[in-house]
Amino acid sequence: MFQPNECLLREVSTNKRQTFGIPKENQNLETRLALTPEAVALLVEEGHRVLVESGAGNGIHYSDLRYSECGAKIVNSPAEVFSADIVLKITPPTPNEILLMREKATLGSMLQLSLFSPQSIKLMMQKKITAIAYELIKDEQRNFPVMSSISEIDGITAISIAAQYMSNESGGKGLLLGGIAGISSAEVLVLGAGIAGATAARTALALGAQVKVFDHDINKLRKFQQQYGQHIFTSVIHPRVLFKALASADVVVGTLKYINGSERFMVAEEWINNNLPENKPDSIISFSPEDKSSPSGIDSISFGHRFIHQIEVEARQGYIIPTKSFFREENGIPRFYHI
Same domain, 300 and 186: yes
- CA distance linking residue 257 with residue 339, whole number of Å: 4
CATH number assigned to the domain comprising residue 127: 3.40.50.720
Q: Is residue 5 part of a domain?
A: no
State the pLDDT at residue 82. 97
State the pLDDT at residue 68. 96
Number of compact structural domains in the chain: 2
Q: How many CB atoms lie within 10 A of CB 271?
A: 14
Q: SS3 of 251, please?
A: strand
Q: In what order do the strands lie in the sheet with 299-302?
A: 299-302, 312-316, 319-323
Q: Is residue 3 part of a domain?
A: no
Which spans in the chain are helix H? Answer: 37-45, 64-69, 78-82, 95-100, 118-126, 145-165, 195-206, 218-228, 239-248, 269-275
- CA distance linking residue 175 with residue 119, whole number of Å: 50
Please give the model's pTM, rounded to 2 decimal places.
0.74
Q: Is residue 10 part of a domain?
A: no
Domain that holds residue 106: 19-136
Same domain, 84 and 129: yes
Mean pLDDT by groups of 10 residues along the chain of 339 residues: 64 74 90 94 95 94 96 96 96 94 95 86 95 93 90 88 81 80 88 90 92 91 83 87 85 74 61 59 52 34 32 32 30 32
Check the CA dihedral 275-281-283-285 and report its sign.
positive
Q: Is residue 28 part of a domain?
A: yes
Closest CA to 314 of 303, 329, 326, 298: 298
State the pLDDT at residue 173. 76
State the pLDDT at residue 332. 38
- Show the beta-strand stretches assigned E in 215-318: 233-235, 251-254, 284-287, 299-302, 312-316
State the pLDDT at residue 145. 92
